[in-house]
Structure 1
Amino acid sequence: MKTMELVLLLIFFPVTLSVKHSLTYLLTESSGLQTFPEYVDVAVVDEVQAGCYDSNSKTAEPKQDWAKKLIKDHPQQLEFYSQICVSLHVTLKTDLVNLEQYLNQTGDVHILQVMVGCEWDDKTEEVIGFAQTGYDGEDFLSFDLKTLTWNAAKPQAVIIKHKWDREAASIFIKNILTNICPQWLKMSLDYGKSSLLRTDLPSVFLLQKTPSSQVSCFATGFYPHRADMFWRKDGEELHEERGEILPNHDGSFQMSVDLNVSSVSPDDWKKYECVFQLSGQKDDVITKLDKAVIRTNWEILTDMTIPIIAVVALAVILIAAAGFMFYKKKRATNNITELSEQLNPEA
């Protein structure tokens, strides 16, 4: 009876999976670069660039049609964003100069990066704010929302940590991360829902370079970017190396996961399957490990390839013969000009 009740419950009240959305600002303050703006700020919604600002143009520019519509309807958003960028540029430039002097690194190229934003769960309404910095490509500082202080990732970051903790901006940062950021994120999702809230399942292929190399399960064309992919054997997940999620030129994404098949016996191939999971989707995309569907850049000789090889071989022989005749002809005369006239009668 309980089983029947559960089935009816699932039919009339289907399970809806939550989806997490994010708004991230990527800030870069640099010194020593002549062809790059000192300050660049890029706004990203669910891994899609929504807008940007740089210290050369001093103008915030929306990058998507929906972002342009949002700014048109809410011009105060653009004004507030621009003011924040100007203020952050001044602050980060001062911090970068102080840091270079403290580390005795003046005169070289150095980069201070900040990643700040929020993540919102559309079902639970949970909001997670984050702010972290990097210096010359390494982790530097991270903001703790519980203690409202900055944590130094290395000793060199302590001087900036103390400075930022003393500036009493923690409450403002918390408000940005947990209040303003989620509001802007939800507004962006509302204006860009036709593209940002779409769901595109991937095309999945099995790829292999050589008969002895690993098999790569490659998924491309999916959206959003929140996805997972792994190999499974007899229903048990295998912890194989998975590549990072990369963007395609059309705004979709791609990823891959490899499987070492060198030790897999032919009888065990049918036990393996590649599993792709997209955030918010209940059903997985499953691809069975099958030699018949693997795409390769090597080819087993067949009745069709033998004539092709014969033609190629004949062409090589003819080219070699022509080269030999030319060699003999060149040896037969020492007059280079006459030979040139023979080869190029129109010259």
Structure 2
Amino acid sequence: MRHVVLLLLGAHLVSAGKHSLRYFFSAVSGINDFPEFTIVGQVDDQQFMYFDSKIMKVVPKTAWMRQSVGADYWDRETQIGIGTHQAYKNNIQVLKERFNQTTGVHTVQVMYGCEFDDQTGETNGFRQEGYDGEDFLLLDLTEMRWITPVMQGFFTVQKWNNYRYEIEAKKHYFSTVCIEWLKKYLEYGKSSLKKTVSPQVSLLQKSSSSPVVCHATGFYPKYVTISWMRNGQDHDEDVDLGELLPNEDGTFQRSSELRVTPEEWKNNKFICVVEHQGKTITANEIKTNQGDSLPIGIIVGVAVAVAVLLLIGIAVAGYKVYQKKKGFRPVNASDDGSNRSTHSFDSVYSVHSDDQLI
């Protein structure tokens, strides 16, 4: 997924199934101590590169990327990142005008990438753009057009949909170039990406009247199931499953809360069951009671997750749009577009493309 297209003929992928390459852009205004612009790249949910407007360079986030490419690669990516930063500084100002905003914290967020199933050969590409946590633009590669659910995006889609050759170029990028680089990265990181790390499971509680937390951490890949049993039977009442959170070492953590009174806990046998990669781990004793403080593992995970969510904003909401486009309702062309700005919403469709800004 770079300027030079390298086709990996006969490359051995790390494991059978679906693989993904995703990039997340975030432009932020109104926060003095936070980078104006960041880029995060992920292969199979593992972050492998990072750029922000404070350090002004693209850096590797995995040993396998650091060892697989040379300085010219990072120099080239840095120059592209710097140029993209300038484009998105403009984008966020344009959108503030369109939404009649002059103060406050605002974000422009983009997610794009591709998927490849090495069993079926099926490929998919996707790109969504968001503003202040809400959907703004979606590239529909099936209908070969941009759509928007808000009036402020109408001018952009009307303009971009006139550039048919640009949409064709993007489709080619997602179906070929992106897939080729995904395969290349999978080969680079095969020793790391195919690893399996089982979770550590603990039952935690702030006080006797607080919910009991089943905390699973340190696992990879990210797919995990957490459930509760009561006296040998499945129990799903008064249970809240938390979000999947990243750890700093590339593993993941997740928690499930059980709201239970001290009497219920004492008079019944509750077990937390964690399933990961065919392995089952159970816990039934509260090993940690931290009073009013949270366990340090959860504190670290939440802090990391907040930073990641701020960086990749639409990673959850936007990806759901990609999976369920029926919920993304475009504005009709008959709308009058009275809120249009005289500026265009400039954007680079890929940090790894030298496409001319529209």
* TM-score, with length taken from structure 2: 0.64
Distance in 2 between residues matched to 1:189 and 1:222, nearest whole Å: 20
In the superposition, relative to structure 1, how do residues 261 and 58 fare at CA in structure 2: closer, same or farther (>3 Å)? Answer: closer
Report the AA paired with residue 295 of structure 1: K
- Per-residue CA deviations over 1:161-211 (Å, capped at 9, x if unaligned) read 323323432222222323222222221121112222210011112223334
Asked if the contact 1:112–1:136 (Cα under 8 Å) also holds between the matched residues in 2, the reply is yes
Count of residue pairs the alignment pairs up: 274
Distance in 1 between residues matched to 2:115 and 2:147, nearest whole Å: 20
Q: Secondary structure at the match of 2:119?
A: coil
Task: Report the counterpart of residue 136 of structure 2 in structure 1.
Answer: 140
Report the AA paired with residue 251 of structure 1: G
Distance in 1 between residues matched to 2:210 and 2:261, nearest whole Å: 7
Asked if the contact 1:210–1:296 (Cα under 8 Å) also holds between the matched residues in 2, the reply is no
Greater C-alpha radius of gyration: 1
In the superposition, relative to structure 1, how do residues 84 and 116 fare at CA in structure 2: closer, same or farther (>3 Å)? Answer: farther
Task: Report the counterpart of residue 310 of structure 1 in structure 2.
Answer: none
Q: Secondary structure at the match of 1:229?
A: strand
Task: Report the counterpart of residue 249 of structure 1 in structure 2.
Answer: 248
In the superposition, relative to structure 1, how do residues 268 and 191 fare at CA in structure 2: closer, same or farther (>3 Å)? Answer: farther
Task: Report the counterpart of residue 285 of structure 1 in structure 2.
Answer: 280
In the superposition, relative to structure 1, how do residues 34 and 202 fare at CA in structure 2: closer, same or farther (>3 Å)? Answer: closer
Asked if the contact 2:47–2:250 (Cα under 8 Å) also holds between the matched residues in 1, the reply is no
**1:48 counterpart (46, 49, 52):** 46
Task: Report the counterpart of residue 24 of structure 2 in structure 1.
Answer: 26
Task: Report the counterpart of residue 154 of structure 2 in structure 1.
Answer: 158
- Per-residue CA deviations over 1:119-177 (Å, capped at 9, x if unaligned) read 33343443332211111232222222211222323332223332332343222222232
In the superposition, relative to structure 1, how do residues 221 and 149 fare at CA in structure 2: closer, same or farther (>3 Å)? Answer: same
Distance in 1 between residues matched to 2:63 and 2:290, nearest whole Å: 44
Please report how far the alpha carbon of residue 261 of structure 1 lies from its aligned counterpart in structure 2 after TM superposition. 3.2
Asked if the contact 2:57–2:81 (Cα under 8 Å) also holds between the matched residues in 1, the reply is no
Q: Percent identity?
A: 39
Report the AA paired with residue 248 of structure 1: N
Distance in 1 between residues matched to 2:126 and 2:234, nearest whole Å: 34
Report the AA paired with residue 65 of structure 1: A
Asked if the contact 1:275–1:284 (Cα under 8 Å) also holds between the matched residues in 2, the reply is no
**1:193 counterpart (187, 190, 193):** 190
Point out which structure has higher relative CO (alpha carbons under 8 A, 6+ apart). Answer: 2
The residue correspondences of 1:89-108 to structure 2 (distance < 5 A) are 89=85, 91-106=87-102
Distance in 2 between residues matched to 1:71 and 1:266, nearest whole Å: 55
Distance in 2 between residues matched to 1:86 and 1:120, nearest whole Å: 29
The residue correspondences of 1:108-127 to structure 2 (distance < 5 A) are 109-127=105-123
**2:218 counterpart (211, 218, 221):** 221
Distance in 1 between residues matched to 2:236 and 2:252, nearest whole Å: 23
- Per-residue CA deviations over 1:53-96 (Å, capped at 9, x if unaligned) read 345666433232211233239x56974x5575466445544443
Task: Report the counterpart of residue 238 of structure 1 in structure 2.
Answer: 236
Distance in 2 between residues matched to 1:235 and 1:19, nearest whole Å: 33
Task: Identify which range, 190-199 or 22-31, moves more after superposition.
Answer: 22-31
Q: Secondary structure at the match of 2:241?
A: coil
Task: Report the counterpart of residue 261 of structure 1 in structure 2.
Answer: 260
Task: Report the counterpart of residue 274 of structure 1 in structure 2.
Answer: 272
Task: Report the counterpart of residue 145 of structure 2 in structure 1.
Answer: 149
Please report how far the alpha carbon of residue 116 of structure 1 lies from its aligned counterpart in structure 2 after TM superposition. 0.9
Distance in 1 between residues matched to 2:159 and 2:206, nearest whole Å: 53
In the superposition, relative to structure 1, how do residues 178 and 241 fare at CA in structure 2: closer, same or farther (>3 Å)? Answer: farther
Provide structure 2 residue ranges, at least 5 long, that are not aligned to the other structure.
1-14, 292-358
**Residue 203 (str. 1) matches residue 195 (str. 2):** no
Please report how far the alpha carbon of residue 236 of structure 1 lies from its aligned counterpart in structure 2 after TM superposition. 5.0
**Residue 295 (str. 1) matches residue 294 (str. 2):** no
Report the AA paired with residue 67 of structure 1: M
In the superposition, relative to structure 1, how do residues 238 and 260 fare at CA in structure 2: closer, same or farther (>3 Å)? Answer: same
Q: Secondary structure at the match of 1:213?
A: coil
Distance in 2 between residues matched to 1:127 and 1:196, nearest whole Å: 20
Report the AA paired with residue 97 of structure 1: Q
In the superposition, relative to structure 1, how do residues 256 and 172 fare at CA in structure 2: closer, same or farther (>3 Å)? Answer: same
Task: Identify which range, 134-143 or 122-131, moves more after superposition.
Answer: 122-131
Task: Report the counterpart of residue 315 of structure 1 in structure 2.
Answer: none
Provide structure 1 residue ranges, at least 5 long, that are not aligned to the other structure.
1-16, 300-347
- Per-residue CA deviations over 1:305-340 (Å, capped at 9, x if unaligned) read xxxxxxxxxxxxxxxxxxxxxxxxxxxxxxxxxxxx
- Per-residue CA deviations over 1:286-322 (Å, capped at 9, x if unaligned) read 426x3xx2224289xxxxxxxxxxxxxxxxxxxxxxx
